[in-house]
Structure 1
Amino acid sequence: MDLIHQIINSDKLAFEQTFLHWQSRVYYYFIGRTRDEDFAEELTQMTFIKLWEYREGLSTEHDFDTQLFRIARTVMIDAIREKERRKRLMNQFQTERDTIESYLSTPNEAQSDFDKSLKALPAVRKKVFVLNRLHGFSYKEIAAELNISDRTVEKHISLALKQLRRMLTLFSFL
C-alpha cells in the first residue's frame, strides 16, 4: 500500500514517518518565504496538523509532495492574512485606547463623560473592559475569570472601545 493510502487510512506510523521525512523540507520552504524561524516552525506544525485533519481528502491521483506543499501554501496564506488582520485590529485598539486615555488624562468633565459612557456599556462588556483596561488583567485571565473564550474577550474589548469612542465623541460635540 502506498503512502497516500496509508495516511488516508489513518496509519499513524506512516504519518509519523512522513512527518520525519518531510518536516525539514516544509520548514525550509517557509523560511524561504517568511524569513522568520519561529513563524516557519509554527507554519510547519500547522501544515502537518492540516494534513492529518484532512487526510481523507488526499488524492491518490496526485503526487504526495504536490498535495503537501499545496496544504503548506494555503496554511501560510491563511496565517499571513490572520497576522495582518490582528495587526490592523491592534492598530485600531491602540488608536481607540489613545482616544480614551486622552479623555482620562483631562480634568473632571472628561472623566465624568467617560464614567457616563462606561455605565452605558452592557454588563459583561463593562466588566471585561474594566478588568482589562483599568485593572490590567490579560485576555486569558479575564477569559478564565468569566468562563468565556479569549476570542470573546477580544470581541468585548473591541466593541467596548468602539462604543466608548462613539459616546465620548458625542459628548465632545455637546
Structure 2
Amino acid sequence: MESIVQDIKNGNIERFKMVYQLYHTKLYFYVLKCTHSAYLSEETVQLSFILLWEKRSKLSTNFNISAQLFRIAKSVMIDLLRKQQVHNRHIASMLQEQPDWHMETDITIKEELKLVFNSIEQLSPIRRNVFKLSRLEGLPHKEIARQLSISPKTVENHILRAVRQLKDSLLIISILLIRLLF
C-alpha cells in the first residue's frame, strides 16, 4: 500500500486511475449512507478525488491510500453539508422577511423546470432514459447498466453527453429569452 501512495505522490496517473476504480463506488455508498443524498454523494466523491490528485504531494506514506481518501471525503462531505445548511438558513430567512418572494420564486422555478424537462425530452430515447434513471431516480451507474444491459462506462458517457446537451440547449433558450425581453 505504501507504494501506491508513493506512486500517486510522484504523479503516477495510472495508479491514481486504479485507486479511482477501486474506491469510487465504496466512497459513493459511504457518503450516501451518511447523507441519504445521491447529489451530495456524487459531489463528495468527485471533489475528493480532485483534492486527492491536487494535494497528492501532501499524502503520507505512513497511512494507506484508503484511510487518506476516506478522510478527505469526510472533510469534503462535512464542508458540503455546512454549505447546504447555510443555504437553507438563508432561504428560510428570506421567506420570513419577504413571504411574497417565495411565490415569485416558485413561479420562476416552475417555468425554469418546464424548460429543463422539455430539454430532457429532446434527448435521444436511450440517453433520456439513462439520464432520468440517474438524475431523477438517483440510481447508481452500475444499477442502470444492469437494468439496460449496457456497460457502466456507457451509462457514464450517456450522462455526460446528456448534461452537455442540456447545458447547451438551456443556454440557447436563455439567450433567446434575453433577446426577447430586451
TM-score calculated relative to the size of structure 1: 0.54
Distance in structure 2 (CA, Å) of the matches to 1:45 and 1:14 = 17
Q: Deviations over 1:46-104 (max 9, x none)?
A: 11111112111100111211111111111111111111011101111222222779xxx
Distance in structure 2 (CA, Å) of the matches to 1:90 and 1:73 = 26
Q: CA deviation at 1:41?
A: 1.6
Matched, 1:27 2:28: yes
- Cross-structure match for 2:15: 14
Aligned 1:78-93 pairs, distance under 5 A: 78-93=79-94
Which sections of structure 1, spanning at least 5 residues, go unmatched?
Answer: 102-131, 146-174
| Structure 1 stretches of 4+ moved >6 Å | none
Q: CA deviation at 1:37?
A: 2.0
Q: Which has the larger radius of gyration?
A: 1
Relative distance call for 1:97 and 1:23 in structure 2 (3 A) is same
Question: Which amino acid in 2 is paired with 1:86?
Answer: H
Aligned 1:101-140 pairs, distance under 5 A: none
Q: Deviations over 1:96-142 (max 9, x none)?
A: 222779xxxxxxxxxxxxxxxxxxxxxxxxxxxxxx98xx6x9xx9x
Distance in structure 2 (CA, Å) of the matches to 1:88 and 1:71 = 26
Distance in structure 2 (CA, Å) of the matches to 1:36 and 1:88 = 19
Aligned length: 109
TM-score calculated relative to the size of structure 2: 0.52
Aligned 1:63-74 pairs, distance under 5 A: 63-74=64-75
- Cross-structure match for 1:75: 76
Question: Which amino acid in 1 is paired with 2:58?
Answer: G
Distance in structure 1 (CA, Å) of the matches to 2:84 and 2:46 = 17
Equivalent position SS for 1:62: coil
Distance in structure 2 (CA, Å) of the matches to 1:30 and 1:100 = 34
Identical-residue share of aligned pairs (%): 29
Q: Deviations over 1:9-42 (max 9, x none)?
A: 1222211111011101101111211122222122
Answer whether contact 2:40 2:77 (CA < 8 A) is retained: no
The alignment yields a C-alpha RMSD, in angstroms, of 2.8
Equivalent position SS for 1:60: coil
- Cross-structure match for 1:45: 46
Which sections of structure 2, spanning at least 5 residues, go unmatched?
Answer: 113-170, 176-182
